[in-house]
């Protein structure tokens, strides 16, 4: 028997549990839809074996039944058969308490895992198991009477095991920590890059950017032992070569053994120096260049940093045939040009948040912010570029709250165009800390180009609770290998049946995540989708969760329905992101959060369902487009009286209390929460909508349901 702080007692001893068997049977029979049916003798048998736990709550009159847990055990795994909590006592973590007692007992008994079977359509039940760390393992067909799909979920216990655990967790189902390339890449340096460090060399600044990038943790650098050989070969007798001293400070990789070199040499020579190879006139320097490449290939390193144009010209072939990147030092520099105009956002407190490029005068404020957050001086200077006002290896941005630096973002140069690495910090003692974090995370997402897929990895100071909470709404998950890192894959496209193959290939190449060979037929948003993780393990991820993790991606599958809503031009410019026209005025509060609110008349509530695709039709009023311009995803919809409207209801919309009357005379409004919004590449005009039978005048003045056929037709025209 155990008791938790909320005066919940868990009975585990069969003699104590048996006194409440009648309560258990009655409770289970009251919810057969979720729990199924067992005869009374089954409960008696499980109780006798110690496989029935009962939770007791207490009041002034004593203790009484509040819930139970029924499970089966067959070493080394256990199976939950029932878990139930009385409706009057839900919200008190009784289910969690019962499960924790079971986990504790089975861990002591050296069990490996616990399994549970949950109907796929029981959303609340699946959410509960997800929060308890039970990840989907497989989907099986249920009984013929109900024709349900059953999700088999698993939780791995923290017990010593002969074999390592799978590493699958409900918190990071996609396994981003084990993705190839999640660690910073290590590149070999060619000798010409080292020589360019000389102050009089024309490519001096490019070479400096390579080493600045290493200091920013964008990469690691090393050399081949061939460099030392090459320097000794070209050294002048009696004169000290400073490059030898510099090379000695870098990690060194040995050249491949002779048999490997004999295999690689003719292949590389024919690729990089075809004419000289054919004529047999390769110089010692040419062979040395090839030996650097062979060293990178032999040690399976990501690439070689070189200024040699002949090697760079063969970069594509080298990547395809040998898996090594030939990288120019130019990639270690951020794009030149004038910084963009600052972006100003309105915060909920009526303050203004300005995201702009950091300038030299911000150094003291940046260092003060980082010091407050526990970042030591060396890390500030080296990894956070706190004093690098003129660095060409990174871009630096600050978020100013009413003119005072309250957030900081460092973006090293994108060495690999499919990856974004950044350092981000927020002053969490500020009232608008959430909005500051949103503004910086939104800036990062803005770097991702339309139709692109990018891996993002953020490093933040310790104890950034607000930043982590906001990042979760953008689809970030915490890294298990680096405690201060957040990561995600951002996919700015819509998957349809037509682009499935190419999108699948892109996601596999960049994110190392493999979708099914063919697009599934859509049943509902909690439908489990089989995914292959980077470590080769097969996991099941609900469509709704997958879209959140890869946000702003949407799976526009056959069978998925939607809703179309009208929006005026003056409203959409503030509510919908990625507006084609920049504004010098402050952006509204709605554009900060990934979750936006669309307000409409209370009668429209019936038209919105969780997981619907929501299409925005810009009306012709005030020179509007008269076309569907964007698509997103419905998270939820609810009713709210005007008098009860809260800041959290109105702030993510573009309305305030004075303008609520513009969307209907009713004092009760429908609030629809949506996310994953992107504009269609081609607006779908009114005539096309009429051809789809959803563009008549009476249909466009309010929200309307769209069939799966109409959804596909709009996407066909818009994408």
Torsion of CA 567, 569, 570, 572, to 10 degrees: 60
pLDDT band at 336 (very low <50, low <70, confident <90, very high): very low
Q: Cα–Cα distance between 715 and 373 in angstroms, integer? A: 46
Sequence-separated contacts (24+) of 62-69 with Cβ below 8 Å: 63/9, 65/20, 65/23, 65/24, 65/27, 66/8, 66/92, 66/94, 67/27, 67/94, 67/95, 67/98, 68/20, 68/23, 68/24, 68/27, 68/28, 68/98, 69/98, 69/99, 69/101, 69/102
Instruction: Give pTM, 2 decimals.
Output: 0.75
Which H or E element spans position 82? Answer: strand 77-85
Residue 185 burial (10 A CB sphere; 0-12, 13-18, 19+): middle
Residue 552 preceded by cis peptide, ω within 30? yes
Average pLDDT for 2-18: 80
Position 577 scores a pLDDT of: 63
Q: Is the dihedral of CA 571, 576, 577, 578 positive or negative?
A: negative
Position 583 scores a pLDDT of: 47
Position 450 scores a pLDDT of: 86
Among 23-27, 178-182, 583-587, whose mean pLDDT is lowest? Answer: 583-587
Phi, psi of 385 (to 5 degrees): 50, 40
Domains of the chain are: 2-170 (3.40.630.30), 186-332 (3.40.50.1010), 343-491 (3.40.630.30), 494-555 (no CATH), 562-718 (2.30.130.30)
- Is the pLDDT confidence value at 7 over 70? yes
- Is the pLDDT confidence value at 586 over 60? no
Position 413 scores a pLDDT of: 83
What does pLDDT average to over the chain?
86
Q: List, as one string, the DSSP characters of 220-263.
A: EEEEEHHHHHHHHHHPPTT---HHHHHHHTS-EEPPPPHHHHHH
- Is the pLDDT confidence value at 181 over 60? no
| DSSP letter assigned to residue 540 | E
Residues in the chain: 719
Position 169 scores a pLDDT of: 66
What are the residues facing 419 on neighbouring strands? 455
- Is the pLDDT confidence value at 688 over 60? yes
Average pLDDT for 499-524: 92
Q: Cα–Cα distance between 543 and 14 in angstroms, integer? A: 42
Among 139-143, 340-344, 468-472, 652-656, whose mean pLDDT is lowest? Answer: 340-344
Position 390 scores a pLDDT of: 67
- Is the pLDDT confidence value at 183 over 80? no
- Is the pLDDT confidence value at 406 over 90? yes
CB 375 within 8 A of CB 461: yes
Position 197 scores a pLDDT of: 87
Q: And the tokens for 697? A: 């005048």
| Position with higher pLDDT, 452 vs 585 | 452
Residue 677 burial (10 A CB sphere; 0-12, 13-18, 19+): buried
The fraction of the chain above a pLDDT of 90, given in percent, is 47
Q: 312-332: per-residue pLDDT in tens?
A: 999 999 988 998 999 999 888
- Is the pLDDT confidence value at 708 over 80? yes
Q: 446-467: per-residue pLDDT in tens?
A: 888 888 999 999 999 987 888 9
Q: Cα–Cα distance between 172 and 157 in angstroms, integer? A: 17
Position 168 scores a pLDDT of: 65
End-to-end CA separation in angstroms for the chain: 60
Position 212 scores a pLDDT of: 86
Q: 79-123: per-residue pLDDT in tens?
A: 999 999 998 888 889 999 999 999 999 988 878 889 999 888 888
- Is the pLDDT confidence value at 310 over 90? yes
- Is the pLDDT confidence value at 581 over 70? no
Q: 558-570: per-residue pLDDT in tens?
A: 999 999 999 998 8
pLDDT band at 659 (very low <50, low <70, confident <90, very high): confident
Average pLDDT for 251-259: 93
Position 349 scores a pLDDT of: 64
Position 585 scores a pLDDT of: 45
Average pLDDT for 262-282: 91
Position 337 scores a pLDDT of: 38
Position 2 scores a pLDDT of: 62
| DSSP letter assigned to residue 587 | B
Residue 138 burial (10 A CB sphere; 0-12, 13-18, 19+): middle
Q: 202-249: per-residue pLDDT in tens?
A: 888 888 889 888 888 788 899 999 888 877 776 666 666 778 888 888
Position 180 scores a pLDDT of: 47
Position 272 scores a pLDDT of: 92
Q: Is the dihedral of CA 630, 635, 641, 642 positive or negative?
A: negative
CB 421 within 8 A of CB 184: yes
The fraction of the chain above a pLDDT of 70, given in percent, is 91
Q: 44-55: per-residue pLDDT in tens?
A: 989 988 999 999
| Cβ-Cβ contacts under 8 Å for 173 (sequence gap 6 or more) | 135, 136, 531, 533, 539, 541, 545, 549
Q: Cα–Cα distance between 128 and 134 in angstroms, integer? A: 9
Longest CA–CA span in the chain (Å) reads: 100
Q: And the tokens for 428? A: 């969490």
The structure tokens 């350092």 sit at 423
Q: 285-302: per-residue pLDDT in tens?
A: 889 889 999 999 999 999
Q: 474-508: per-residue pLDDT in tens?
A: 999 888 777 788 999 999 989 999 999 999 999 99
Q: Reduced to 3 states, what is the DSSP secondary structure of residue 41?
A: helix
Among 286-290, 415-419, 660-664, whose mean pLDDT is lowest? Answer: 660-664
- Is the pLDDT confidence value at 578 over 60? no
CB 521 within 8 A of CB 559: yes
Position 4 scores a pLDDT of: 53
Among 21-30, 349-358, 541-550, whose mean pLDDT is lowest? Answer: 349-358
Q: And the tokens for 76? A: 């080394």
Pairing of strands 528-532, 538-542: antiparallel
Q: And the tokens for 137? A: 């393992």
């Amino acid at each position: 028997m155990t008791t938790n702080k909320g005066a919940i007692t868990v009975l585990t001893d069969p003699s104590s549990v048996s006194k409440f068997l009648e309560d258990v049977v009655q409770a289970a029979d009251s919810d057969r839809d979720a729990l199924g049916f067992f005869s009374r003798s089954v409960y008696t048998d499980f109780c006798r074996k110690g496989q029935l736990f009962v939770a007791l709550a207490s009041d002034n009159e004593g203790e009484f039944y509040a819930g139970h847990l029924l499970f089966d055990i067959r070493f080394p795994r256990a199976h939950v058969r029932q878990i139930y909590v009385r409706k009057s006592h839900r919200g008190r973590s009784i289910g969690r308490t019962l499960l924790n007692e079971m986990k504790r007992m089975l861990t002591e008994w050296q069990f490996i895992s616990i399994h549970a079977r949950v109907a796929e359509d029981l959303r609340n039940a699946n959410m509960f198991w997800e929060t308890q760390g039970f990840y989907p393992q497989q989907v099986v067909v249920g009984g013929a009477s109900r024709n349900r799909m059953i999700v088999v979920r698993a939780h791995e216990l923290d017990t010593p095991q002969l074999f390592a655990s799978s590493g699958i967790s409900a918190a990071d189902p996609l396994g981003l920590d084990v993705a190839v390339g999640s660690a910073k890449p290590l590149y070999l340096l060619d000798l010409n890059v080292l020589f360019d460090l000389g102050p009089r060399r024309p490519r001096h600044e490019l070479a400096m950017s390579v080493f600045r990038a290493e200091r920013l943790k964008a990469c690691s650098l090393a050399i081949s032992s061939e460099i030392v050989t090459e320097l000794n070969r070209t050294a002048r007798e009696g004169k000290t070569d400073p490059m030898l001293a510099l090379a000695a400070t870098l990690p060194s990789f040995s050249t491949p053994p002779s048999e490997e070199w004999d295999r690689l040499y003719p292949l590389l020579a024919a690729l990089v120096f075809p004419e000289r190879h054919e004529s047999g006139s390769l110089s010692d320097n040419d062979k040395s260049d090839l030996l650097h490449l062979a060293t990178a290939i032999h040690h399976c390193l990501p690439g070689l940093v070189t200024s040699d144009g002949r090697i760079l010209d063969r970069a594509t072939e080298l990547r395809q045939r040998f898996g090594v990147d030939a990288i120019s030092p130019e990639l270690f520099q951020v794009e030149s040009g004038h910084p963009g105009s600052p972006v100003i956002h309105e915060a909920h407190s009526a303050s203004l948040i300005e995201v702009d490029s950091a300038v030299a005068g911000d150094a003291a404020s940046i260092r003060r912010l980082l010091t407050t957050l526990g970042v030591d001086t060396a890390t500030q200077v080296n990894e956070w570029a706190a004093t690098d006002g003129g660095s060409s290896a990174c871009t630096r941005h600050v978020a100013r709250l009413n003119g005072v630096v309250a957030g900081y973002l460092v973006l090293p140069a994108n060495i690999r165009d499919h990856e974004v690495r950044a350092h981000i910090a927020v002053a969490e003692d500020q009232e608008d800390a959430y909005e500051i974090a949103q503004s910086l995370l939104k800036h990062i997402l803005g770097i991702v180009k339309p139709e692109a897929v990018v891996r993002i990895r953020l490093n933040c100071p310790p104890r950034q609770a607000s930043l982590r909470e906001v990042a979760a709404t953008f689809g970030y998950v915490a890294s298990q290998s680096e405690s201060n890192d957040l990561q995600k894959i951002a996919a700015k496209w819509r998957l349809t049946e037509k682009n499935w193959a190419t999108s699948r290939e892109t996601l596999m190449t960049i994110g190392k995540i493999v979708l099914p060979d063919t697009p599934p037929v859509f049943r509902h948003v909690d439908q489990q989708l089989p995914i292959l993780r980077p470590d080769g393990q097969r996991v099941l991820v609900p469509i709704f969760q997958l879209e959140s993790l890869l946000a702003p991606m949407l799976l526009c599958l056959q069978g998925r329905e939607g809703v179309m809503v009208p929006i005026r031009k003056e409203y959409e410019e503030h509510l919908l992101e990625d507006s084609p026209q920049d504004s010098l005025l402050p952006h509204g509060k709605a554009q900060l959060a990934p979750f936006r609110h669309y307000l409409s008349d209370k009668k429209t509530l019936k038209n919105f369902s969780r997981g619907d695709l929501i299409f925005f039709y810009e009306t012709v009023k005030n020179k509007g487009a008269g076309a569907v311009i964007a698509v997103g995803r419905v998270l939820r919809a609810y009713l709210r009286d005007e008098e009860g409207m809260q800041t959290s209801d109105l702030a993510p919309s573009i309305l305030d209390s004075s303008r609520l009357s513009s969307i209907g005379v009713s004092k009760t409004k429908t609030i629809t929460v949506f996310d994953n919004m992107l504009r269609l590449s081609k607006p779908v005009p009114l005539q096309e909508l009429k051809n789809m039978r959803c563009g008549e005048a009476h249909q466009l003045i309010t929200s309307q349901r769209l069939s799966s056929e109409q959804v596909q037709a709009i996407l066909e025209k818009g994408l």
